[in-house]
Amino acid sequence: MSDYKPLSDYGIIGNLETCALVGRDGAIDWCCLPRLNSSSVFAALLDDEIGGRFAIYPTDEYEAEQQYMERTNVLQTTFHTESGTARVTDFMPLSPDNEGNQPKVRGIYRNVSCTEGDVDLAVEFDPRFDYARADSRVESISDGVVASGDARRLTLSSPLDLDCSDSAADGTLSLSEYDNEWFVLEYGTRAPTDDDSCEHLLDNTVEFWRDWAHTCPDGEDCPFADYGHDMVVRSDLTLKLLTYQGTGGITAAPTTSLPEVVGGVRNWDYRYNWIRDGAFTVRAFGNLGDTQEAVNYLDDFLELGQSVDPADLQPIYGLQHGSTYEEQELDHLEGYRNSAPVRIGNGAADQLQLGIYGELVLAINQLSWSDRSIAGDDWEAVREIVDYVCEVWERPDAGIWEMRSGPKQFVHSKAMCWVAVDRGIRMAENDGHDAPLDEWRDERSRIKETVLERGFDDDQNSFTQAFDDDQLDASLLLLPLSGFLPFDDPRIQGTIESVIDRLATDDGLVYRYEHDEMPGDEGTFVLCSFWLVDCLARMGRVDRAREIFETIEDHFSPLGLVSEEIDPETGDLLGNYPQAFSHIGFVNSALFLHEAETDTEIQPFGHRSV
Q: For 366-371, what is the mean pLDDT?
A: 69
Residue 101 has pLDDT above 70, yes or no: no
Secondary structure of residue 465 in the 3-state scheme: coil
Average pLDDT, the chain: 91
Percentage of the chain beyond pLDDT 90 is 75
Residue 433 has pLDDT above 60, yes or no: yes
User: Which pLDDT does position 308 carry in this prediction?
Assistant: 85
Residue 455 has pLDDT above 70, yes or no: yes
Residue 375 has pLDDT above 80, yes or no: no
Q: For 499-518, what is the mean pLDDT?
A: 90
Q: For 155-176, what is the mean pLDDT?
A: 96
291-307 and 355-367 are packed helices; what angle lies between their axes, rounded to 10 degrees?
Answer: 130
Q: For 177-193, what is the mean pLDDT?
A: 93
Helix and strand totals (H; E) in the chain: 14, 24
pLDDT band, residue 275 (cuts 50/70/90): confident
Asked if residue 108 lies in contact with residue 31, where contact means CB atoms within 8 angstroms, the answer is yes
- Burial of 82 per CB tally in 10 Å (0-12, 13-18, 19+): exposed
Residue 477 has pLDDT above 90, yes or no: yes
Residue 445 has pLDDT above 90, yes or no: yes
User: Which pLDDT does position 369 carry in this prediction?
Assistant: 66
Q: For 79-104, what is the mean pLDDT?
A: 87
Name which residue leads in pLDDT, 516 or 87: 87
Q: For 269-286, what is the mean pLDDT?
A: 83
Asked if residue 367 lies in contact with residue 296, where contact means CB atoms within 8 angstroms, the answer is no
Architecture field, domain 7-212: Distorted Sandwich (2.70)
pLDDT in tens, 110-120: 999 999 999 99
Q: For 409-432, what is the mean pLDDT?
A: 96
- Burial of 392 per CB tally in 10 Å (0-12, 13-18, 19+): middle
Residue 566 has pLDDT above 90, yes or no: yes
Percentage of the chain beyond pLDDT 70 is 95
DSSP E strands, 482-597: 524-525, 565-566, 573-574
Residue 8 has pLDDT above 80, yes or no: yes
Asked if residue 367 lies in contact with residue 282, where contact means CB atoms within 8 angstroms, the answer is yes
Q: For 450-479, what is the mean pLDDT?
A: 97
Residue at 506: amino acid letter: D
Residue 94 has pLDDT above 50, yes or no: yes
Name which residue leads in pLDDT, 100 or 7: 7
Instruction: Classify strands 53-58 and 27-32 as parallel, antiparallel or unpaired.
Output: antiparallel
User: Which pLDDT does position 57 carry in this prediction?
Assistant: 98
User: Which pLDDT does position 324 carry in this prediction?
Assistant: 78
State if pTM tops 0.85: yes
Q: For 92-115, what is the mean pLDDT?
A: 85
User: Which pLDDT does position 516 carry in this prediction?
Assistant: 66
DSSP E strands, 468-582: 524-525, 565-566, 573-574
pLDDT in tens, 300-335: 777 777 778 999 999 998 887 667 789 999 999 999
Count of C-beta atoms within a 10 Å radius of residue 516: 17
User: Which pLDDT does position 215 carry in this prediction?
Assistant: 76
Residue 372 has pLDDT above 80, yes or no: no
User: Which pLDDT does position 520 carry in this prediction?
Assistant: 62
